[in-house]
Structure 1
């Protein structure tokens, strides 16, 4: 117990546990600052980091549920690697959402954002997942296999959360995002109301045109009646 594998393993465990906390906090703060500068928003960094961190927690919790053992360094690697590699999915979708939100309501904007960037997110996640699973399935080193499987699972989970959870979160917190984002320029008036107004205006114009057309006809009829009366009197 004083020297050998047990002692070194215990020291590595203690060091990795402390390093994991420090590395996770530093990576979250660093990524959050980058997103803050890109979007100029206080709410979007928090929202995007929660989505990606949730995927990391799900990924690591699967190991506990499945009773799988992973080397200590695996947790340290996956905390930073999955965050850095998959935050791009959320950033891409959110940037497209902000772009379309200036001309559409929240639901239409997220539909267009998914149509324009959803395929890119899926392809990027698929490439990372395939690379991770290939490393996990064909490597002869146990530590490398475990980390590879974690990377593959992380890519898939992050993609699913970005495609299915992030859109709902963006719609739910749309007002908060608009208020906490510099020059958001989100569309405030619903499009349906504008369409209804234009339809009413067009309908009124049609009625006015009909009334204008009917007035000359009435004048002609009155003139013809007056002429008939004059002819009878003569």
Structure 2
């Protein structure tokens, strides 16, 4: 917090300045115009976080004492504005994304229960992915959360669709236990191939990218894909087995054997 106080003291400070006559006209034009004056404040702070947001609030309060109209620019300010703008819409956007995937699954699977089951499985993987930074006591870029939650839902729900479609096919000739076993054995290679590619790309992106946000996106992509992979291969078959009766009743044109 000492950084915050020092910056605010600097902004509040009214004292000696460099006379404009000492500066070249070309340099002066970069700082002054007919209506605005440019002020540059350099701080050692993160792109986002509670201290950064507190710093921006304090700078705004200090500037408001002397200027009626002002504009703030910078990476921290952009994240601050994005957070305030997007937070209110985040729930709506997530609901729309989930609803869109649900409708697509409803139309393709022709089932009422499967879309709920598949979306719930991937959303659980997303929640697991977002909880990892908390248990590691590390922060997450706000925009990284918005991006990765959408990417993970759209990219890994295909694993669940592939497995569920195979299960429906197997149930036409096998009981639910054998159908679940055959489904995993027949889809595991395809799912593992796709998931492994995404995990490797995510790790490489996180390892070699020098930009903090991009690096974090890479690691979150790898962790999220791993969580989706585990749930689809080890949890979803059990759910299909347990809810076999419900799936049969709520899916169009199904003829499961006993």
Larger Rg: 1
Q: Does 1:108 align with 2:174?
A: no
**Paired residues of 1:125 and 1:155 also in contact (CA < 8 A):** yes
Q: Does 1:11 align with 2:70?
A: no
SS of match in other structure, 2:253: coil
Flag structure 1 segments of 5+ consecutive residues without an equivalent.
189-234
Larger helix proportion, structure 1 or 2? 1
Q: How far apart, CA to CA, are the structure 1 residues paired with 2:152 and 2:239?
A: 21
Q: How far apart, CA to CA, are the structure 2 residues paired with 1:15 and 1:185?
A: 50
| Residue 171 (structure 1) aligned to one of 241, 253, 258 | 241
Q: How far apart, CA to CA, are the structure 2 residues paired with 1:7 and 1:82?
A: 28
1:18 Cα deviation after fit: 2.8
**Paired residues of 1:16 and 1:76 also in contact (CA < 8 A):** no
Greater RCO structure (CA 8 Å; 6+ sep): 1
In the other structure, the counterpart of 2:114 is 44
SS of match in other structure, 1:67: coil
| Residue 139 (structure 1) aligned to one of 209, 212, 235 | 209
In the other structure, the counterpart of 1:92 is 162
How does the TM-score come out when normalised to structure 2?
A: 0.70
**Paired residues of 1:20 and 1:75 also in contact (CA < 8 A):** no
- After superposition, the CA RMSD in angstroms is 1.3
How does the TM-score come out when normalised to structure 1?
A: 0.77
In the other structure, the counterpart of 1:58 is 128
SS of match in other structure, 2:246: helix
Flag structure 2 segments of 5+ consecutive residues without an equivalent.
1-58, 61-71
SS of match in other structure, 1:140: coil
